[in-house]
């Protein structure tokens, strides 16, 4: 039998090119709405801030933890069918916002539907990109996907700003139509490519059950939890710190510059990140985040801008490396791997949300919000060291001590005859 053609790299990747373009459009449409959700629910529909917080917390939990369900669904019906299901759910959710602009019940239901669709889509999207691709091509594919998503994140909010409160029905109608068209395009995609022959051979011999790279056994799931935990302090609390010390316009410029830097840096650094040992990637990533937090604590326009740039470097290195390492260490289908990674991200974000509010409130009560960023800086330095120490201790405990085995004369001999 002939060798099946591979679809690695960028050769003959029309479906992948479409998927990258669709990733941009999907994020553009989503972030034309989602960043303003608290404003819409509170100011237009009159929900209390406590209720708004609960709705958004539940939506975030669904969006992250639902990645596990996405992996299971993709294993049963395939990544393309899972993406179609996700887009149908998200389209229905945005459509429900049209009458939901006057109904709190419909609006809350729409938020949950959109979150369910997002939970199903991203693991299947990444799985479709890497299925059938050589391992050497995965960093470029995943970094290109991240760049497409971040470009949509950067452009979505300013594109929707003129319509959010004045003409929300027009905004939601346009986003619904966009998702419907993108869904039609997904329906025309071919089934995902088969796994590379080398991967199938590894599975057949059982080698796929073993990690391809050990790096002291650091588990990507735990490192992902820790990466997102540290990063979300920056995501959640920079606005509270930066706006009073600079201006709303400067804060917006920082966010736009951050997104543009992600779009440019991640593809450029993808091969270098892939070549890094996992432990070295952790040093670079968490070190950059710690430095970013310390510089932000310095304050002012320069400190906040430079600190955000350092945080961007940490995100680029850690988030891509975590996904690559999770893929390399698992024999499971890519959609299942990415689903578990989404769950890890959700746990990290949840932990950061629970801890961050208390720490920030305590820092403000002490009269110095800078103390918050220094506390997070220390966490970024110490927690990876503690995780590495715990993993090493468990590895040492699993290795039998010399002389612990019975002498050969006492071992059970096979029966004769």
126, 107 Cβ separation under 8 angstroms: no
5 pLDDT more than 60: no
- Binned at pLDDT 50, 70 and 90, residue 149 comes out as confident
For the record, the structure tokens of 185 come out as 């395009």
For the record, the structure tokens of 67 come out as 């990645």
21 pLDDT more than 60: yes
> Which of 125-134, 188-197, 231-240, 379-388 has the least mean pLDDT?
188-197
65 pLDDT more than 90: no
For position 405, what pLDDT does the model report? 54
Complete domains list, the chain, with CATH: 21-197 (1.20.1250.20), 215-396 (1.20.1250.20)
200 pLDDT more than 60: no
For position 203, what pLDDT does the model report? 44
For the record, the structure tokens of 66 come out as 């639902």
Output the average pLDDT for the chain: 82
381 pLDDT more than 90: yes
- Binned at pLDDT 50, 70 and 90, residue 282 comes out as very high
197 pLDDT more than 80: no
For position 304, what pLDDT does the model report? 94
> Which of 53-62, 234-243, 304-313, 319-328 has the least mean pLDDT?
53-62
For the record, the structure tokens of 37 come out as 């959700």
For position 183, what pLDDT does the model report? 94
> Which of 8-17, 37-46, 70-79, 222-231 has the least mean pLDDT?
8-17
| Residue 268 or residue 212, greater confidence | 268
- Binned at pLDDT 50, 70 and 90, residue 309 comes out as very high
246 pLDDT more than 60: yes
For position 176, what pLDDT does the model report? 93
Instruction: Report the helix count and the strand count for the chain, using DSSP H and E.
Output: 15, 0
For position 6, what pLDDT does the model report? 43
Helix axes 334-365, 370-398, angle to 10 degrees: 140
For the record, the structure tokens of 383 come out as 């927690």
73 pLDDT more than 80: yes
Closest CA relative to residue 293, chosen from 273, 317, 263, 315: 315
For position 216, what pLDDT does the model report? 54
Q: What is the average per-residue pLDDT within 35-61? A: 77
Rounded to whole angstroms, how far apart are CA atoms 64 and 35? 17
pLDDT of 322-350, one tens digit each?
999 998 888 888 888 988 998 898 888 88
- Write down the pTM of the prediction: 0.75
261, 370 Cβ separation under 8 angstroms: no
For position 12, what pLDDT does the model report? 43
Continuous segment of H or E residues that includes residue 105: helix 104-130
Count other C-beta atoms under 10 Å from residue 307's C-beta.
25
Rounded to whole angstroms, how far apart are CA atoms 359 and 253? 27
For position 212, what pLDDT does the model report? 44
| Residue 362 or residue 50, greater confidence | 362
Closest CA relative to residue 108, chosen from 174, 144, 57, 142: 57
Q: What is the average per-residue pLDDT within 95-99? A: 87
Count other C-beta atoms under 10 Å from residue 184's C-beta.
11
For position 292, what pLDDT does the model report? 96
10 pLDDT more than 80: no
Rounded to whole angstroms, how far apart are CA atoms 118 and 233? 22
Rounded to whole angstroms, how far apart are CA atoms 209 and 106? 46
For the record, the structure tokens of 182 come out as 């993108």
Quickly tell me which residue has 């969006």 as its tokens.
63
As a whole number of Å, the CA-based R_g of the chain is: 23
Cα–Cα distance list, 291 to 179, 281, 305 (Å): 39, 15, 13
Q: What is the average per-residue pLDDT within 92-107? A: 85
pLDDT of 250-260, one tens digit each?
887 888 888 88
Closest CA relative to residue 118, chosen from 92, 97, 138, 144: 92
Count other C-beta atoms under 10 Å from residue 222's C-beta.
16
Rounded to whole angstroms, how far apart are CA atoms 258 and 252? 10
For position 164, what pLDDT does the model report? 66
165 pLDDT more than 80: no
Q: What is the average per-residue pLDDT within 261-271? A: 89
């Amino acid at each position: 039998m002939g060798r099946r053609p591979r679809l690695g790299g960028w050769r003959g990747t029309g479906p992948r090119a479409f998927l990258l373009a669709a990733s941009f459009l999907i994020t553009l449409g989503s972030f034309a709405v989602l960043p303003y959700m608290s404003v819409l629910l509170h100011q237009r529909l009159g929900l209390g801030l406590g209720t708004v917080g609960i709705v958004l917390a539940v939506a975030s939990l669904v969006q992250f933890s639902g990645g596990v369900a996405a992996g299971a669904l993709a294993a049963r019906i395939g990544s393309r069918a899972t993406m179609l299901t996700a887009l149908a759910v998200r389209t229905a959710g945005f459509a429900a916002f049209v009458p939901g602009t006057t109904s709190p019940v419909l609006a809350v239901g729409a938020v949950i539907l959109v979150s369910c669709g997002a939970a199903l889509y991203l693991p299947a999207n990444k799985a479709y990109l890497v299925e059938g691709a050589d391992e050497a091509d995965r960093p470029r594919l995943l970094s290109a996907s991240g760049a497409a998503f971040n470009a949509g994140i950067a452009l979505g909010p300013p594109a929707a700003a003129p319509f959010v409160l004045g003409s929300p029905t027009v905004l939601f109608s346009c986003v619904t139509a966009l998702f419907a068209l993108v869904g039609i395009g997904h329906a025309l995609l071919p089934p995902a490519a088969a796994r590379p022959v080398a991967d199938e051979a590894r599975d057949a011999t059982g080698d796929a059950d073993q990690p391809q790279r050990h790096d002291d056994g650091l588990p990507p799931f735990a490192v992902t939890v820790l990466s997102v935990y540290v990063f979300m302090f920056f995501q959640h609390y920079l606005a509270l710190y930066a706006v009073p010390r600079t201006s709303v316009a400067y804060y917006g410029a920082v966010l736009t510059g951050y997104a543009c830097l992600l779009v440019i840096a991640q593809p450029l650094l993808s091969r270098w990140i892939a070549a890094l040992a996992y432990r070295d990637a952790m040093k670079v990533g968490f070190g950059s985040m710690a430095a970013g937090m310390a510089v932000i604590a310095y304050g002012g326009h320069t400190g906040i801008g430079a600190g955000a740039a350092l945080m961007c470097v940490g995100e680029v290195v850690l988030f891509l490396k975590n996904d690559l390492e999770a893929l390399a260490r698992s024999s499971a289908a890519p959609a299942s791997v990415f689903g578990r990674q989404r769950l890890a991200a959700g746990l990290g974000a949840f932990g950061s949300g629970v801890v961050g509010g208390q720490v920030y409130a305590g820092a403000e009560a002490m009269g110095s919000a800078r103390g918050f960023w220094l506390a997070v800086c220390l966490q970024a330095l110490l927690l990876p060291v503690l995780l590495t120490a715990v993993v090493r201790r468990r590895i040492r405990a699993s290795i039998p001590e010399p002389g612990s085995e019975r002498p050969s004369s006492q071992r059970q001999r096979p029966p004769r005859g």
